[in-house]
Structure 1
Amino acid sequence: MSASIIAIDAMGGDFGPHCIVPASIACLAEYPSLHLVLVGQPSLIEPLIARYPHVDRARLRVEPAAEIIAMDERPAQALRGKPDSSMRVALGLVRDGRAQACVSAGNTGALMALSRYVLKTLPGIDRPAMVSAIPTEAGSCQLLDLGANVDCSAEHLYQFAVMGAVAAEVLGVARPRVALLNVGTEEIKGNQQVKLAANLLQQAQGLNYIGFVEGDGLYRGEADVVVCDGFVGNILLKSSEGLAGMIGQRIEAQFRSGLGARLIGLLARPLLRRLRQELAPAQHNGASFLGLQGIVIKSHGAAGPEGFKSAIRRALAEIEENLPQRLHGRLGEHLL
């Protein structure tokens, strides 16, 4: 198996190298063909690596970058004012062919702006979109955009739908069902952008557009690709994570409420453990920036080591599927 090289923004996220270094080293142990480049300040990264004396340094190196982009920093400042940021240097490694993907838990707006500037978008794509697999009753669906584009035109939503459909096909879904997230399934429902996007998608050749889907229909698995603007998508994603956590806590509290409940809880523990693993946000962490001339994965800023490992795994999967090149080859069939 050929080596896969991933550039890691080691300074990004809420926890920086203290989370990212152990997650990276764990992934190296899990995938023998994986090579990682940790980008950031060596004085902070190297002492953390030194805690793992058996790590294969032939597959792990540090690329210096003096600057850090803060989580609340404006994208324009990150773009113009920090040429030696860990995020920008990591993206530069992908652009120069020294890495096949970039993973960052840093500032989403800055990552979007820098990715567009450094890597450029695929022909016919105005803006990249963040996409991730959301668990449903039927398995999962691809949801985009998850927060990279708060304000979207109908044309942007159309492009997101095309990219999501092609990505789902690449990932093995035959003739994926594409839907627009809306406040109702009737044609008269929705804002102007959604209605205009629906008109564009109804005219599209080769797309299996099935119309509108509501939030509950998403989780029932009524579509394989669900499209919305980044404002709605991010709220949906964060609300889903919070709801899953709250339900888990409520169930555990009920099982501690009495002797009988504790006994039932002991019997149900294996099932609950498996359910928690399937629905845990860490298992689904890592959103892809579709539409770029390179692979960029955004990890949740608050993700711990397990969550960041999931983001690295997503980057590996997209490298193996050669996603940007295959996406580029198919977009011309669908774009207006």
Structure 2
Amino acid sequence: MSLPRIAIDAMGGDEGVRVMVHGAAMARRRHDKFSFLLVGDEAQIKSALEEHPNLRGASEILHCEGVVEGDEKPSRAIRRAKTTSMGLAIEAVKNGDCGAAVSAGNTGALMAMGKIALRTMPGIDRPALAGLMPTLLEDDVVMLDLGANTDCDARNLVQFAIMGAAYSRIVTGKAAPRVRLLNIGTESIKGTDDLRQASQRLQDATGLAMQFDGFIEADKINRGEVDVVVTDGFSGNIALKAIEGSARFVTDLLRTAFTSSLRSKIGFLVSRPATELLKHHLDPNNHNGGVFLGLNGVIVKSHGSANAQGVGNAVDVAARLLEDNITQRIMADLAEVEAEMNGNAQGASSPDAGGGPSK
């Protein structure tokens, strides 16, 4: 059975059509069973495809002149969905023509159009934006939500944990990823009522394919001690930007230090292999590809400033999610939680529960 094809919003992103097409071509070398629908200006796409015959033979072009602008309000983008490359890429997933859509365009518009067109999966109240971040160890850490939902209750956080664990199993290959809730401390009494309730529900759900052990503080996110970090979109977006800003601060500080004197420049030459490794590890292109989890279809968000390698990594994410049936994995885990919660509720209401009289 052939895999569903991937729709590419060729007009999204800061670097233009050539970078989007180049990235898709790089991804196809690693996932040669996939075909692609390239949505955007036909003349520009055809010109870019001349440099990538491996992609040209596996692609169809859907001509579209409309583009969602980077500063466009989601409400306006929704009204123009049928006439923009982003909207038509999502529409291709909705009508079953493609299994996933990848865009480097306006995040708010992509989220809004995706939610309206695809709707949330059964058992999911809200979709969440999940991303990959580097750690001190080999595997990246999955973090969600990164901005789709600013206010979340305990039920939302439990659903995010289930979706994040399913995503982590695909990207890390671990059968039971380590999952933690982001909090201001690791003690069970810390945090909001919703955080403590979510923690208890996850601890009670013993049948899930994850290792859940309470809370994690923000300074441990990138240590490699956890595979999935779960939080609301408000805190998650702040944490993400703080981590990205710290990475840029470190690289800029090193650049300044190594150019401050002749001795420093000599020191740079000696330590260049280490600094190149650091640069590679912190490069956002190597961890590119945010996913809107919880929708009836796969939507992957690439950084707007991503280069071809970054776009290729985002397309890789879409391909791997389709290959490993992310939707089915999430639905199976949701059913497990619902069954355990219903069983606990029935046990608590039973006449025999709590030492009550038996029949």
Fold shared per TM-score above 0.5: yes
Aligned length: 335
1-structure distance, mates of 2:233, 2:115? 16
Could you say what secondary structure the match of 2:317 adopts? helix
1-structure distance, mates of 2:176, 2:186? 21
Gaps of 5+ in 1: none
Alpha-carbon distance change, 263 to 229 in structure 1, aligned in 2, over 3 angstroms: same
User: Contact (CA 8 Å) 1:20, 1:308: kept in 2 or not?
Assistant: yes
2-structure distance, mates of 1:32, 1:72? 35
Could you say what secondary structure the match of 1:79 adopts? helix
1:277 counterpart = 2:286: no
Identity of aligned residues (%): 42
Amino acid in structure 2 at the alignment position of 1:206:
G
Corresponding residue for 2:213? Answer: 210
Alpha-carbon distance change, 184 to 5 in structure 1, aligned in 2, over 3 angstroms: same
**Mapping for residues 1-336 of structure 1, pairs under 5 Å:** 5-28=5-28, 31-50=31-50, 52=51, 54=53, 56-138=55-137, 139-171=139-171, 172-207=173-208, 208-335=211-338, 336=341
Amino acid in structure 2 at the alignment position of 1:132:
G
Could you say what secondary structure the match of 2:304 adopts? coil
User: Contact (CA 8 Å) 1:166, 1:331: kept in 2 or not?
Assistant: no
Superposition CA RMSD, Å = 2.5
1-structure distance, mates of 2:320, 2:175? 18
Amino acid in structure 2 at the alignment position of 1:278:
H
How far did 1:56 drift? 5.0
| Per-residue CA distance 1:140-172 (angstroms, 9 max, x = gap) | 321111112222222111110121123323442
2-structure distance, mates of 1:58, 1:192? 55
2-structure distance, mates of 1:41, 1:189? 53
| Per-residue CA distance 1:179-230 (angstroms, 9 max, x = gap) | 1111222233323432333343343333432111111122223322110111
How far did 1:3 drift? 5.9
2-structure distance, mates of 1:266, 1:145? 41
Could you say what secondary structure the match of 1:70 adopts? coil
Gaps of 5+ in 2: 342-359
Question: Computing the radius of gyration over CA atoms, which structure comes out larger, 1 or 2?
Answer: 2
2-structure distance, mates of 1:290, 1:202? 22
2-structure distance, mates of 1:101, 1:49? 21
Could you say what secondary structure the match of 1:72 adopts? coil
How far did 1:122 drift? 1.8
| Per-residue CA distance 1:246-296 (angstroms, 9 max, x = gap) | 212222332233333333322221222122212211100101111122221
User: Contact (CA 8 Å) 2:13, 2:104: kept in 1 or not?
Assistant: yes
Amino acid in structure 2 at the alignment position of 1:215:
A
Amino acid in structure 2 at the alignment position of 1:196:
Q
1-structure distance, mates of 2:85, 2:234? 27
User: Contact (CA 8 Å) 1:94, 1:102: kept in 2 or not?
Assistant: yes
TM-score (norm 2): 0.84
Deviates more, 1:11-20 or 1:245-254: 11-20
1-structure distance, mates of 2:57, 2:65? 23
User: Contact (CA 8 Å) 1:104, 1:297: kept in 2 or not?
Assistant: yes
Amino acid in structure 2 at the alignment position of 1:23:
G
2-structure distance, mates of 1:21, 1:34? 14
Could you say what secondary structure the match of 1:8 adopts? strand
1-structure distance, mates of 2:118, 2:279? 37
1-structure distance, mates of 2:34, 2:156? 35
2-structure distance, mates of 1:21, 1:153? 40
Could you say what secondary structure the match of 1:24 adopts? helix
Deviates more, 1:98-107 or 1:182-191: 182-191
